[in-house]
């Protein structure tokens, strides 16, 4: 919240506190019950970390949970096709960590989708993504991703927090901790998850938890069923006026009390009541797509905020417009242990149009330049068949990024001929995090938080900025 | 670190000369070589240091060489030490220059060429040496502070210096060997004063001779420490403190937390009115402050009640104490609260955070894992004032105590609080490593106030814990029976059933009936019917299915087998992720045309047919081979497989398709009695003359691990066209003419007969019924995860925490060297030894850690403000002698928790007002000196309890099962279970809904959103201290969560019924009930206005009134006018939303 807004708040609301204009301004989005010394320490850490000219102002992360196959999407392997049905060379897999294929015979399975080249940049993309292929020149495909964790739960945790140990802050929390929110009536870190229908692997709220960072940095889930934000709706029988009266009474009583007890936290809490009330108004407006022209709805392929991936992509753009720093959309159902040939195109269809529409829409609004879009899952899938599907795979997989200071129309890195190991310009999860922070002008080694006696970072103890993909 | 690009002064001028190497020109010493020596070599190989006894600052010295022999051999670069050492790769320890970057390629080339060309010293002048020496000296200049500028107060290492060193230096110069730079350690005297090639980091008493000081104050920013690129920059004041400390003699002290507290250092606690006050007063006086006034009696009563029982005080308690606020009444109130059973609940809340108590397994599908009995144990332990040493021992090792009671075994469930995985594809060893590390972190966090987690991958950077210590701690827990990866839907073994008295009786009765029946079957005389059956069968033609009794069964991954009387085989013992069963069947001297496999239920399988609880069996392949009379092994092709059921669209024929990755899934949900049959018709009969054996192999490579077949039976037939049927024929020993031992065969047949004959049909079906009954009863029993000690697994140090690396050293349970030693002689130490070590008098951690956390509960911050880290990165205690005094007192009192609490809350320091004057806020913003009380926002659970209590809804029952408070629909939408547990959130009904918050179902991946909003931890990891935040979400919860709306309505009803008749009276009543005080007239006016407005508004809109009154499960009264009740509900909501209502002042 800006100072100006704080003043406005004070003058438009009944003047409830005489001594805290500055206090509200600086504490508006929530404060810890900590002495100012700590706040100053935090500021100096962030000043110290802000070392580069920021390119991105916000992130929209299209999180493909379950581990989409790179071999049917963005990493074409002719050699794999040639070796289809043959045994995997032992030298490649011996001593390697496998998930469900541990101990099984390892048969190679060729790509189950056709590939072609698209755009001026001639990026190679599978036929399951015809719409994403249309924005080929805007996206940077990274084919050399690597992660450490081979099971869903720890792999999600690793992708989001830079370590597989539970209890660390997620990247959205780190970003809002570092840069705050630009929104006055919305949280800085919003999580959406789209309806997939099918039974999918679970996603834990741990993935957007703030860990040891103050809880105001926690991702707030915007839901498509029930209230869009938990507890956002007035109770039954409580009109907006009644709610306002109650909040006003709380503020007036607290002002009187504060004259006696003189407690700074009271001012903060009252400003949070204001923020809550603002959210109660702004959130329903946000979920109301009636102001969107038809051609935009059609471009995304949605009719309204129905919890589909398409609707959530449009919602993400609306959130971005309103200053939300980090929006993450979880789309589950990529865990293709079986029937990949039929399931992959079906699953791809559920995200293809809207993913591309988001890029096009941001571009036409001029927002793509400072909005970083990331598309990818927690790991890839094995070149080896698991029945007629593929198992989890961590040594090489693909994601793509666009906008926000990323060079479009390029493919970065490569896996080996069989798509097994990332071998060229390897990008580890920690490198990805370092790069994301760098796009915001932050040095990942300097953005730290002292907890249990240690300075923690999003990148743990690793991470190199992937400078080749920076625009 | 210094680099060659940062040359200054003379060296830079020299370097400015052109330095190009062309084929035609020869290398010139004075212009080409000398500048390199000056800039990169002479600092260490000059007049001052002469490292390696080598000087390079004149031709004479260069020719003389050093320790390594000849520095240069003219014409032979390869034999010249200089060239050799500058050519080494940078990571070579011998590589030169020893500091800074490697010489550039062109510089190395120049030197090589110069030596090659004869190493002449063209252009040498003696003044060049003098100039170089000066330049080096100038380059190394530091502005060392004058002694007068240093702080003059006597410094203590622990108080003043340790944190500065730890924050700024230890990452590179601390205990972690792998990260250590320049071979320098600054964390202990013997290391810091070590001779490092002519220099010491610290020379006590001499600043110029202390390299650490020179580098701290170095003029060259590139040379100054800590390096510019590091995140660590001590302030000027801190640099001066370090200098002053070196000047005062650089005396180190062992870290306070690793030294056993002693009477000499501790504040004496005996013989004083309240020793806490005496010490705090002393500190206040020396800081020129005074303690605050005692808080008013109503505030005090409220404070005590929230602090001790986590609930608001009753009106009676407040009024009684307000009427007579004497010391005696005060201590009566304290005693009353300490004796309340809610005291145990309040203490348990904190303990459960520390031990990461939760109701789900954590990882992945995050299903229920029942340990509520452990929670009850904790509540009861505090209520019974169990001594803290016993409390410690029982949790870590209750199961190892002699004749362990049920309670002690439940307590040891502590060791099972870690997260567990049942994710498909998870590797057992990986998760075992995760669990082991989790337990070490818990041990460190709960009892030692140490952050041991760092040492999993590397030696601790700030504290003396090594990686080896970490794995030695881990190996204490290596005896705990568990699986690396569990299967979904099965129990998280080992568990202990907790039958009630009547359940136990019922169980005994069923088991008695079972053994009676079994005896009855065994006792019956069957001689006649057996012989009849034998005769009948014998004269039957050879067709039909004949069960075979295997001569041996083996597995490849450790499954064991038990042969049953009916010739079936029961899988027992370990249940590996997957396994192949090899069954050897004796030949029976007849042609075999088909083999029948029966997959059968059994009481031990509990649910269905597989060894996993309810998960389907997955058979990959069924294969047969035999050995002929020549010893030749033949694979037997199978023509057809016919099963009696298909599941999930998979058919039995995939078990003979030659592919391991296609599986026949078999599920049965009728435990015990179910049976699935499949008939395999062989392509060609196995010939009659087969000798040796027939081998039947069941390949099982399941997607869901540990779903092996639980019980099966094989039969054979010689029928030319084997038919699918399920009849049971004569067993094969009787058909085997070669069997010699007819007596043995008779016995086998006798048992087979009793196990299968129709004659016993009713007994068998009775038995099945009883087993089923028993199974159902056992499954319905309450249970809890327990620790069961088995042969300890081998524990290795995992290099960098990598579970796949098996090269690490094998370790045994042990405690670190720098701490008091275990007393176990040669025996392997156990968890019990560890627990007893923790509560030994000389253990420096246990008492201090607990006292510090207790202090925090009543004063708002710990004496050492970092509750979870007493190490070098923690905070020096504000009152160390008080912490030690309390620790010793605690030990001496027999670890009496209530006694210490009494001591804390009866102190004047505790009773002070929490009002912070301007002056206090200026002089002591963090309240380090305790010149006032702290203000604390209530914890998440207590906020709910408080609202329910004010509303009169609270169900005060203690202990028992979890509850599910109202939760927004769909909150678990992203969760998923695989074991059949419903994701439907079943909101608790009736009175259960209103039990205290600490009983909330603690789902780690989706903690109840109201708890989460008020900073309750998810308990995936141990939490010693909750964050306290202040967010809009909290406002939304208090305003809109049905729990609070319903509590407000119930409160409104009380206001109307019990608060008198006028609205003024009612407002006073409401204020008293919610805030334990009167309303001022201004306050009353605000609420009166609100009431009046809403009375009117709801009066005009009956539907709205009806709606707000219908929130929650409890029914609104019908005898109060809805608009009246709704209006008071607004007043009640206002009160419950006040910051004052959720703050302990």
Contact B1139 A216 (CB under 8 A): no
Q: What is the mean pLDDT of chain B?
A: 88
Residue pair B678/B514 in contact (Cβ under 8 Å)? The answer is: no
Distance from CA of B839 to the nearest CA of A (A): 24
| Residue ranges with strand state E in B258-357 | none
In this complex, do B1083 and A256 lie within 8 Å of one another by their Cβ atoms? yes
- HEC string of B410-421? HHHHHHHCCCEC
Judged against a pLDDT cut of 90, whether residue A56 lies above it is answered with: yes
For B978-1043, what is the HEC assignment?
CCCCCCCCCCCCHHHHHCCHHHECCCCCCCCHHHHHCCCCCCCCCCCCCCCCCCHHHHHHHHHCHH
Give the model's pLDDT for residue A4: 38
Secondary-structure breakdown of chain A: helix, strand, coil percentages, each rounded to the nearest 5: 40, 20, 45
Cβ of A225 within 8 Å of Cβ of B970? The answer is yes
Position with higher pLDDT, B802 vs A297: A297
pLDDT of residue B670 exceeding 70? no
Looking at residue B669, what is its pLDDT? Answer: 63
Which bin fits A252, alpha (ψ -120 to 50), beta or left (φ > 0)?
A: alpha
Cα nearest neighbour of A390 on chain B: B661
Please provide the size of chain A in residues: 471
pLDDT of residue A19: 29
Measured between alpha carbons, how far is B728 from B979 in angstroms, rounded to an integer? 35
Residue B524 has phi, psi (to 5 degrees) of -65, 140
Q: Which of B772, B627, B638 minimizes the C-alpha distance to B687?
A: B627
Question: A340-378: per-residue pLDDT in tens?
Answer: 999 999 999 999 999 999 999 999 999 999 999 999 999
The pLDDT score that the predictor gives to residue B835 is 98
The answer to whether A135 and A399 are in contact (CB under 8 A) is no
Does the pLDDT at position A177 exceed 70? Answer: yes
- The residue in chain A having the minimum alpha-carbon distance to the alpha carbon of residue B935 is A263
pLDDT of residue B314: 95
- At residue B741, the pLDDT reads 67
Say yes or no to pLDDT of A25 above 60. Answer: no
Q: Which residues on neighbouring strands pair with residue B617, listed in sequence order?
A: B666
Q: Work out whether the CA dihedral B679, B684, B686, B687 comes out positive or negative.
A: positive
Mean pLDDT of the region B1090-1108: 97
Distances from the Cα of B1003 to the Cα of B91, B302, B305, B358, B371, angstroms: 50, 32, 29, 7, 13
CA distance B42 to B140: 12
Domain A56-228+287-469, architecture per CATH: 3-Layer(aba) Sandwich (3.40)
pLDDT tens by residue, A239-260: 999 999 999 999 999 999 999 9
Q: In chain B, pLDDT over 90 holds for what percent of residues?
A: 50
* Structure-model confidence comparison of residues B79 and A131, the more confident one: A131
Distance CA A110, CA A115 (A): 12
In this complex, how many residue pairs, one in chain A and one in chain B, have their CB atoms less than 8 Å apart?
282
- The Cα–Cα gap between B532 and B749 comes to 13
Among B387-396, B400-409, B1009-1018, B1130-1139, whose mean pLDDT is lowest?
Answer: B1009-1018
B40-45 long-range CB contacts below 8 Å, 24 or more apart? B40/B4, B40/B97, B40/B100, B40/B103, B41/B96, B41/B97, B42/B132, B42/B133, B42/B136, B43/B136, B43/B139, B43/B140, B44/B97, B44/B98, B44/B99, B44/B197
Contact A320, A371 (CB under 8 A): yes
Task: Give the mean pLDDT of B929-939.
Answer: 95
Please check whether residue A184 is in contact with residue A5, taking contact to mean a CB–CB distance below 8 angstroms: yes
Q: Do B1137 and A215 touch (CB under 8 A)?
A: no
User: What pLDDT score does B7 carry?
Assistant: 35
C-beta neighbour count of B928 within 10 angstroms: 16
Residue B1126 pLDDT grade (very low, low, confident, very high; cuts 50, 70, 90): very high
pLDDT score of A21 more than 80: no
> What does the pLDDT look like over B303-329, one tens digit per residue?
999 999 999 999 999 999 999 999 999
Q: Which of A242, A257, A333 to probe by mutation at the B interface, max B CB count within 10 Å?
A: A242
- Hey, where are the domains in chain A? 56-228+287-469
* Interface touch B1040/A232, C-beta < 8 Å: yes
Contacts of A253 in chain B (CB under 8 A): 1083, 1086-1087, 1134, 1138
Token look-up 């082991």 returns B436
Looking at the predicted structure, is the pLDDT value of residue A6 above 50? no
Instruction: Name which residue leads in pLDDT, B1054 or B536.
Output: B1054
Of the ranges A149-153, A286-290, B745-749, B1092-1096, the best mean pLDDT one = B1092-1096
The tens digit of pLDDT for each residue in B985-1012 reads: 999 999 999 999 999 999 998 899 999 9
Size of chain B in residues:
1145
Q: Give A329's pLDDT tier (boundaries 50, 70, 90).
A: very high
Task: Pick the residue from chain B with its C-alpha nearest to A233.
Answer: B1040
How does residue A32 score in pLDDT terms, banded at 50, 70 and 90?
very low
Nearest neighbour of A30 by CB, restricted to B577, B1029, B1103: B1029
Are A275 and B1032 an interchain contact pair (Cβ–Cβ within 8 Å)? yes
Regarding beta strands A449-451 and B633-636, do their DSSP bridges make them parallel or antiparallel, or are they unpaired? unpaired
A26 interfacial to chain B (CB closer than 8 Å): no
Residue A13 pLDDT class (50, 70, 90 cuts): very low
Instruction: Give ipTM to 2 decimals.
Output: 0.76
Contacts of A245 in chain B (CB under 8 A): 1090, 1093-1094, 1130
Q: With beta carbons under 8 A apart, name residues in chain A contacting B1108.
A: 235-238
- Determine which of A55-69, A195-209, B390-404 has the lowest per-residue pLDDT on average: A195-209
Q: Is B779 exposed, middle or buried (0-12, 13-18, 19+ CB in 10 A)?
A: middle
Q: A295: distance to nearest CA of chain B, Å? A: 31
Residue A44 contacts B, CB cutoff 8 Å: no
| CB-CB under 8 Å, A95 with B703 | no
Q: What pLDDT, on a 0 to 100 scale, did the predictor assign at position A211?
A: 84
The pLDDT score that the predictor gives to residue B831 is 98
**Average pLDDT for chain A:** 86
pTM above threshold 0.90:
no
What are the tens digits of pLDDT across the range B125-166?
Answer: 888 888 777 766 666 677 888 888 888 888 888 778 888 888
If DSSP codes are grouped into helix, strand and coil, which group holds residue B694?
strand
pLDDT single digits (tens) B440-452: 999 999 999 998 8
B16 has a pLDDT exceeding 70: no
Under the banding of pLDDT at 50, 70 and 90, the label for residue A40 is low
| Residue with more model confidence, B456 or A102 | B456
For A343, the token pair is 């399931």
What pLDDT was estimated at residue B965?
98
Structure tokens at B956: 């005060």
pLDDT tier at B386 (50, 70, 90 boundaries)?
very high
The lowest-confidence range among A225-239, B21-35, B570-584 is B21-35
Q: What is the pLDDT of residues A441-461, one digit of tens each?
A: 999 999 999 876 678 999 988
Among B58, B63, B54, CA closest to B128 = B58
Q: Output the pLDDT for position B646.
A: 76
Q: What is the pLDDT of residues B511-524, one digit of tens each?
A: 999 999 999 999 99
Nearest to A204 among B578, B1005, B1110 (CB): B1005
Helix axes A309-321, A340-364, angle to 10 degrees: 30
Q: Which is more confidently placed, B224 or B914?
A: B914
């Amino acid at each position: 919240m800006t100072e100006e807004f704080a003043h406005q708040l004070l003058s438009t609301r009944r003047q409830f506190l005489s001594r805290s204009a500055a206090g509200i301004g600086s504490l508006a989005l929530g404060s810890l019950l900590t002495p100012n010394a700590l706040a100053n320490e935090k500021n100096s850490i962030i000043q110290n970390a802000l070392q580069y000219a920021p390119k991105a102002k916000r992130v929209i992360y299209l999180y493909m949970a379950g581990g989409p196959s790179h071999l049917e999407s963005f990493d074409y392997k002719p050699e794999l096709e040639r070796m289809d049905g043959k045994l995997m060379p032992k030298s490649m897999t011996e001593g390697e960590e496998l998930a469900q294929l541990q101990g099984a015979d390892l048969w190679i399975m060729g790509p189950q989708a056709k590939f072609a080249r698209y755009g001026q940049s001639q990026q190679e993309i599978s036929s399951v993504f015809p719409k994403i292929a249309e924005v080929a020149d805007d996206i940077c495909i990274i084919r050399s991703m690597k992660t450490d964790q081979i099971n869903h739960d720890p792999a999600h945790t690793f992708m989001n927090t830079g370590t597989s140990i539970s209890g660390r802050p997620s990247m959205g929390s780190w970003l809002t901790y570092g840069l705050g929110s630009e929104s006055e009536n919305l949280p800085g870190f919003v999580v959406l998850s789209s309806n997939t229908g099918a039974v999918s692997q679970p996603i834990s709220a741990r993935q957007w938890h703030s860990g040891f960072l103050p809880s105001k940095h926690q991702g707030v889930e915007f839901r498509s069923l029930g209230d869009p934000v938990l507890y956002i709706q007035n109770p039954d029988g409580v009109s907006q006026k009644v709610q306002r009266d109650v909040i006003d009474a709380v503020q007036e009583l607290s002002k009187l009390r504060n004259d006696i007890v003189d407690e700074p936290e009271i001012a903060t809490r009252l400003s949070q009541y204001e923020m809550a009330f603002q959210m109660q108004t702004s959130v329903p407006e946000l979920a109301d797509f009636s102001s969107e022209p038809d051609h935009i709805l059609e471009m995304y392929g949605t009719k309204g905020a129905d919890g589909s991936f398409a609707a959530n992509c449009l919602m993400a753009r609306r959130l971005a417009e309103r200053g939300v720093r980090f929006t993450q959309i979880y789309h589950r159902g990529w865990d293709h242990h079986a029937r990949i040939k039929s399931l992959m195109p079906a699953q791809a269809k559920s995200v293809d149009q809207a993913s591309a529409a988001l890029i096009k829409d941001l571009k036409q609004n001029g927002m793509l330049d400072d909005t970083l879009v990331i598309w990818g899952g927690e790991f890839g899938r094995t070149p080896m068949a698991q029945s007629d599907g593929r198992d989890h795979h961590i040594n090489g997989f693909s994601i793509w990024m666009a906008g926000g200071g990323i060079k479009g129309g390029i493919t970065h890195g490569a896996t080996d001929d069989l798509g097994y190991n990332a071998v060229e310009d390897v990008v580890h999860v920690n490198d990805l995090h370092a790069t994301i922070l760098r796009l915001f002008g932050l040095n990942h080694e300097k953005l730290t938080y002292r907890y249990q006696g240690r300075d923690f970072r999003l990148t743990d103890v690793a991470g190199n900025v992937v400078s080749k993909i920076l625009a | 670190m210094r680099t060659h690009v940062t040359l200054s002064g003379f060296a830079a001028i020299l370097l400015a000369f052109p330095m190009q190497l062309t084929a035609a020109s020869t290398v010139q010493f004075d212009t080409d070589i000398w500048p390199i020596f000056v800039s990169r070599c002479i600092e260490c190989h000059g007049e001052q240091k002469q490292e390696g006894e080598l000087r390079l600052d004149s031709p004479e010295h260069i020719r003389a060489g050093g320790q390594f022999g000849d520095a240069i051999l003219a014409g032979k670069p390869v034999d010249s030490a200089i060239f050799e050492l500058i050519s080494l790769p940078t990571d070579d320890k011998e590589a030169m220059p020893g500091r800074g970057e490697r010489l550039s390629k062109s510089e190395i080339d120049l030197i090589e060429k110069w030596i090659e060309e004869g190493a002449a010293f063209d252009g040498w002048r003696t003044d060049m040496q003098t100039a170089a020496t000066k330049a080096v000296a100038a380059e190394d200049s530091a502005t060392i502070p004058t002694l007068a500028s240093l702080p003059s107060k006597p410094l203590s290492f622990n108080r003043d210096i340790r944190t500065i060193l730890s924050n700024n230096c230890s990452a590179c110069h601390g205990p972690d060997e792998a990260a250590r730079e320049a071979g320098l350690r600054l964390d202990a005297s013997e290391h810091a004063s070590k001779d490092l090639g002519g220099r010491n980091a610290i020379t006590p008493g001499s600043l110029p001779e202390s390299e650490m000081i020179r580098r701290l104050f170095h003029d060259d920013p590139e040379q100054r420490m800590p390096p510019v690129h590091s995140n660590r920059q001590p302030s000027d004041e801190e640099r001066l403190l370090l200098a002053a400390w070196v000047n005062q003699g650089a005396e180190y002290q062992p870290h306070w937390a690793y030294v056993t507290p002693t009477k000499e250092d501790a504040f004496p606690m005996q013989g004083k009115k309240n020793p806490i006050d005496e010490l705090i007063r002393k500190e206040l006086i020396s800081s020129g402050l005074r303690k605050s006034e005692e808080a008013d009696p109503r505030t005090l009563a409220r404070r005590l009640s929230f602090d001790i029982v986590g609930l608001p005080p009753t009106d009676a308690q407040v009024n009684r104490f307000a009427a007579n606020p004497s010391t005696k009444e005060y201590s009566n109130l304290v005693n009353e609260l300490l004796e309340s059973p809610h005291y145990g609940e309040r203490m348990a809340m904190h303990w459960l955070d520390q031990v990461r108590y939760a109701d789900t397994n954590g990882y992945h599908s995050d299903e229920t894992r029942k340990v509520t009995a452990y929670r009850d144990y904790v509540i009861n332990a505090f209520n019974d004032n169990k001594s803290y040493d016993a409390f410690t021992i029982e949790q870590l090792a209750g199961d190892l105590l002699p004749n362990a009671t049920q309670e002690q075994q439940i307590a040891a469930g502590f060791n099972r609080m870690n997260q567990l995985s049942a994710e498909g594809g998870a590797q057992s060893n990986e998760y075992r490593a995760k669990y082991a590390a989790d337990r070490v972190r818990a041990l460190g966090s709960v009892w030692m106030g140490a952050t041991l987690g760092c040492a999993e991958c590397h030696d601790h950077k700030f504290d003396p814990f090594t990686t080896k210590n970490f794995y030695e701690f881990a190996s204490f827990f290596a005896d705990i029976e568990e699986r690396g990866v569990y299967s979904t839907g099965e129990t998280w073994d080992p568990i202990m059933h907790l039958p009630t008295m009547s359940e136990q009786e019922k169980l005994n009765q069923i088991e008695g009936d079972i053994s009676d029946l079994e005896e009855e079957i065994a006792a019956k005389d069957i001689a006649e019917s057996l012989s009849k059956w034998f005769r009948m069968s014998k004269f039957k033609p050879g067709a039909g299915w004949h069960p075979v009794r295997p001569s041996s069964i083996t597995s490849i991954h450790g499954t064991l087998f038990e042969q049953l009387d009916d010739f079936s085989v029961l899988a027992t013992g370990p249940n590996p992720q997957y396994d192949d069963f090899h069954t050897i069947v004796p030949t029976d001297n007849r042609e075999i045309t088909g083999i029948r496999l029966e997959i059968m239920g059994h009481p031990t399988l509990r649910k269905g047919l597989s060894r996993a609880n309810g998960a389907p069996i997955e058979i990959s392949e069924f294969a047969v081979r035999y050995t002929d009379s020549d010893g030749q092994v033949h694979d037997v092709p199978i023509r057809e497989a016919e099963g009696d059921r298909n599941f999930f669209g998979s058919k039995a024929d995939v078990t003979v398709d030659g592919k391991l990755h296609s599986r026949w899934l078999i599920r049965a949900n009728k435990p015990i009695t179910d049976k699935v049959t499949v008939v395999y018709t062989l392509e060609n009969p196995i010939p009659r003359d087969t000798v040796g054996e027939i081998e039947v192999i069941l390949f099982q490579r399941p997607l869901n691990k540990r779903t092996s077949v639980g019980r099966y039976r094989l039969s054979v037939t010689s029928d030319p066209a084997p038919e699918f049927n399920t009849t049971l024929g004569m067993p094969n020993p009787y058909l085997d003419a070669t069997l010699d031992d007819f007596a043995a065969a008779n016995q086998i047949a006798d048992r087979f007969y009793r196990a299968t004959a129709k004659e016993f049909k009713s007994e068998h079906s009775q038995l099945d019924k009883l087993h089923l009954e028993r199974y159902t009863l056992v499954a319905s029993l309450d249970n809890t995860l327990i620790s069961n000690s088995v042969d300890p697994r081998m524990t290795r140090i995992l290099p960098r925490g990598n579970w796949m690396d098996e090269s690490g050293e094998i370790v045994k349970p042990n405690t670190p060297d720098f701490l008091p030693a275990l007393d176990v002689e040669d025996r392997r130490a156990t968890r019990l030894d560890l627990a007893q070590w923790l509560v030994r008098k000389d253990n420096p951690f246990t008492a201090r850690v607990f006292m510090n956390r207790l202090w925090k509960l009543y004063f708002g911050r710990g004496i050492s403000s970092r509750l979870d880290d007493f190490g070098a990165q923690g905070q020096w205690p504000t009152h160390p002698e008080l912490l030690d005094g309390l620790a010793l007192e605690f030990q001496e009192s027999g670890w009496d928790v209530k006694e210490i609490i009494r001591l804390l809350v009866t102190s004047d320091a505790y009773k002070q007002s929490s009002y912070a004057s301007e002056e206090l806020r200026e002089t002591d913003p963090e309240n380090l000196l305790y010149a006032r009380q702290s203000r604390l926002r209530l914890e998440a659970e207590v906020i709910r309890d408080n609202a329910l209590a004010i509303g009169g809804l609270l169900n005060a029952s203690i202990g028992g099962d979890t509850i599910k408070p109202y939760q927004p629909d769909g909150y678990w939408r992203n969760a998923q279970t695989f074991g059949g547990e419903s994701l439907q959130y079943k909101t608790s009904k009736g009175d259960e809904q209103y039990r205290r918050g600490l009983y909330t179902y603690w789902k780690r991946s989706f903690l109840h959103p109201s708890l989460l909003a008020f900073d309750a931890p998810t308990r995936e990891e141990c939490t010693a201290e909750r964050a306290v935040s202040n967010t809009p979400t909290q406002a939304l919860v208090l305003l809109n969560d049905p729990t609070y709306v319903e509590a407000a309505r119930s409160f409104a009803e009380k206001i109307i019924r019990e608060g008198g008749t006028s609205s003024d009276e009612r407002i006073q009543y409401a204020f008293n009930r919610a805030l334990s005080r009167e309303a001022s007239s201004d306050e009353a006016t605000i609420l009166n206005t609100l009431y009046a407005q809403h009375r009117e508004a709801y009066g005009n809109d009956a539907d709205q009134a009806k709606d707000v009154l219908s929130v929650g499960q409890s029914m609104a009264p019908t005898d109060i006018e809805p608009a009246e009740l709704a209006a008071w509900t607004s007043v009640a909501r206002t009160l419950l939303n006040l910051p004052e209502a959720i703050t302990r002042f």
